[in-house]
Structure 1
Amino acid sequence: MASFTIFLLSLLTITTHATTTSLYLSPKTLFPNYNNMLNSFKIFIYAPPPSTTPTLFTTPQQSHFYTSLLHSPFLTQDPNHAHLFFLPFPSSTSTRSLARHIRNIRINFPFWNRTLGADHFYLSAAGVDSSSDRNVVELKKNSVQISCFPTPSGLFIPHKDITLPPMHSFQLITPSVNDVNGVNVTYLGYMKLTAGQTPSNLIEEISDHPEFIVEYEPVSKKENKKEKYKNSRFCLFVYGSDMTWMVEAMASGCVPVVITDRPIQDLPLMDVVDWSEMAVFVGVNGGVKGLKRVLDGIEKSRYERLVESGVAATQHLVWNAEPQAHDAFHMVVYQLWLRRHTVRYARWVEQ
């Protein structure tokens, strides 16, 4: 970890221009706003539904975010001092039970009706589905949804909702100068698929190409897998499949290539970082020839910038056992802080 930190600091020193004007969307406002958040942001947490089991959340990202929030200085016991209100409920909650819970919040607290739920947020691993019930409609339409990346199509509202960075246990590999420069690599691209995943025509084409390597989980030798990260210029991901190892690949100096047939609007930390500066997005229609043409067409200077930005960004995408400055937990909270400004409507009286 120490060697990786030294490498990261050297990157930030050498490539100040790249990491301040390219990696971040708003570098001039990010860190002052972040410090304001640390000093000012307050969140009030409602009690979970009465029938909730002790285990509220089942995915590691959700559980870690919730536990970190409970032990953070952002909480307030006085809802009148809160910027945002957190609604904790299990992702498995039925639509009927969820509607009942929101209705009880509306009746017993004065805060929901001020914004019709726009200053509230909730965790849902795959997102809340649409409903005809007024309470769930307001929750889905107005409240900030925090789901796991990637979120199923249609269940994520861009510019309102947030996704949690994937959580994957790994040890950081310090990229060497050769890794950053793409020197002495063995493969153009490396792809890892989960066991039982049915390969598409494109994946079969990639498997048959000598410049790419495709492996299925479980990979027998972890060290062998890590060496393939380091020995590949690019790591390939099919959007919607297993992307939990994306941060690990970036930390190893392997540039992520996301293969998708539509624009992606639910990438983690989209309010903070510019993903086009640390990842490549390729369509599926061109086949392996189109994929190779795009990757071969990336100039050396851009490739180096992609590697450097990706390594630097991992500090914001990693979940630490104990939250640290600018890590995944804090950057998710920062995105909530950016959403704290909402219009407070006059109290709506039900007819």
Structure 2
Amino acid sequence: MMESTSLYLSPTIFFPNYQNMLNSFKIYMYTPPNPLSFSSPTESLFFSSLRTSPFVTQNPEEAHLFFVPFSSNLSTRSIARFVRDLKLDFPYWNRTLGADHFYASCAGLGYESDRSLVELKKNSVQISCFPAPEGKFVPHKDITLPPLERVTHASHAPGNRTARYLGFARYNGVKESNLLNELRNDSDFLIESQPSDGMTLVGRLGSSGFCLFEYGADISGIGEALRFGCVPVVITDRPMQDLPLIDVIRWQKIAVFVGSSGGVKEVKRALDRTCKDDECEGLRRLGVAASQHFVWNEMPQPYDSFHMLMYQLWLRRHSIRYARREFV
């Protein structure tokens, strides 16, 4: 019963395994080819957190995984050269063809012809931003960074919650879909561009039963929605395989997923089904609990985004040992 009602996919395994990770996990960081710069603040925060964490070891012989650091603007040719140098200078890549290595790249790597890049893309764990670039994410191997929250001055969902709107969505000003136009003309939904300040946004989240996100647009506010008790509704017409923390939490327990083809009627039907038998409150309660995992701290704290990302890497430490063979 606990397994089916829990936020976590396997709570009896997660908590002791998390403690084991804290006590045992070791990562060796290669020296980058040049000073690092990142295109995303989340990517930068991950790197600074990792660099100063107790997970890093100076002894590669005790490492479970190896981090390959390179800047966001580094060319694929330079990345390939960096990996080739690692092969020559260290014995660790060649033991697994890079399967016990990982790297961070919000842009993601494509499929290149260079052997080193092929091994990096195919075998190593890629840490991407969320949502991951289409065609540059390998499910079950790669990981996405929980998005960085933009509201930090309020710490939890407001009490005595009254839903003024059925749903709230922020329009990112880039592309307005047909569904968004339909929602804008329905008085049950509030659709607006970025609120003027953080308190206004908190008010929107606190007065809306659901927060709508079109997958592929700006979905970075999903952690904020969870924290303030606004149940995320992800609008997508294809399976989502790059959800943050997908190895750990039951997303169906904290969010609603609905297609766009049925328009507003389909969205409303999905929300009506969700709210039967007090299921809304269950989603909201577990969502608020899950929100602790979507917080990035300058000094990492237990169970925050950084530690949950490390836990997903920990789950991947038992890398596949590829047999060595000569390439033509």
TM-score by length of 1: 0.89
Structure 1 gap segments, 5+ residues each: 1-16
The secondary structure found in structure 2 opposite 1:297 is helix
> Residues 150-203 of structure 1: CA distance to partner in whole angstroms, max 9, x if unpaired?
011111101100000000231335335543xxxx31110000112x32311110
Residue 278 (structure 1) aligns with: 254
Q: Partners in 1 of 2:213 and 2:264 — Cα distance?
A: 13
| Contact 1:172–1:251 (CA under 8 A) maintained in structure 2 | no
Partner of residue 38 from structure 1, selected from 22, 30, 43: 22
Instruction: Give the direction of change, closer, same or farther, for the CA distance of 1:139–1:221 in structure 2 (3 Å limit).
Output: closer
Instruction: Give the direction of change, closer, same or farther, for the CA distance of 1:323–1:209 in structure 2 (3 Å limit).
Output: same
What pairs up with 1:260-275 in 2 under 5 angstroms? 260-275=236-251
Q: Does 1:214 align with 2:196?
A: no
Q: Partners in 1 of 2:142 and 2:51 — Cα distance?
A: 21
- Structure 1 position 261, deviation (Å): 1.1
Q: Tell me the matched-pair count.
A: 326
Partner of residue 312 from structure 2, selected from 306, 326, 335: 335
Q: Partners in 2 of 1:118 and 1:102 — Cα distance?
A: 13
Q: Does 1:198 align with 2:175?
A: yes
- Structure 1 position 235, deviation (Å): 0.4
Residue 185 (structure 1) aligns with: 163
Partner of residue 112 from structure 2, selected from 116, 131, 139: 131
Structure 2 gap segments, 5+ residues each: none
Letter in 2 for 1:273: I
Residue 123 (structure 2) aligns with: 142
Partner of residue 172 from structure 1, selected from 149, 154, 163: 154
Report % sequence identity. Answer: 55
Q: Partners in 2 of 1:271 and 1:193 — Cα distance?
A: 30
Letter in 2 for 1:123: A
Please, which moves more after superposition, 159-168 or 293-302?
A: 293-302
Residue 293 (structure 2) aligns with: 316
Instruction: Give the direction of change, closer, same or farther, for the CA distance of 1:206–1:345 in structure 2 (3 Å limit).
Output: closer
Q: Does 1:96 align with 2:74?
A: no
| Contact 2:164–2:207 (CA under 8 A) maintained in structure 1 | yes
Letter in 1 for 2:191: V
Instruction: Give the direction of change, closer, same or farther, for the CA distance of 1:332–1:174 in structure 2 (3 Å limit).
Output: closer
Instruction: Give the direction of change, closer, same or farther, for the CA distance of 1:18–1:200 in structure 2 (3 Å limit).
Output: farther
The secondary structure found in structure 1 opposite 2:318 is coil
Q: Partners in 2 of 1:350 and 1:295 — Cα distance?
A: 54
Residue 208 (structure 2) aligns with: 232
The secondary structure found in structure 2 opposite 1:324 is coil
- Structure 1 position 343, deviation (Å): 3.3
Letter in 1 for 2:321: R
- Structure 1 position 349, deviation (Å): 6.0
Please, which moves more after superposition, 58-67 or 112-121?
A: 58-67
What pairs up with 1:36-75 in 2 under 5 angstroms? 36-49=20-33, 52=34, 54-75=35-56
Q: Partners in 2 of 1:300 and 1:256 — Cα distance?
A: 19
> Residues 245-273 of structure 1: CA distance to partner in whole angstroms, max 9, x if unpaired?
21111111100000011010000011110
Letter in 2 for 1:93: L
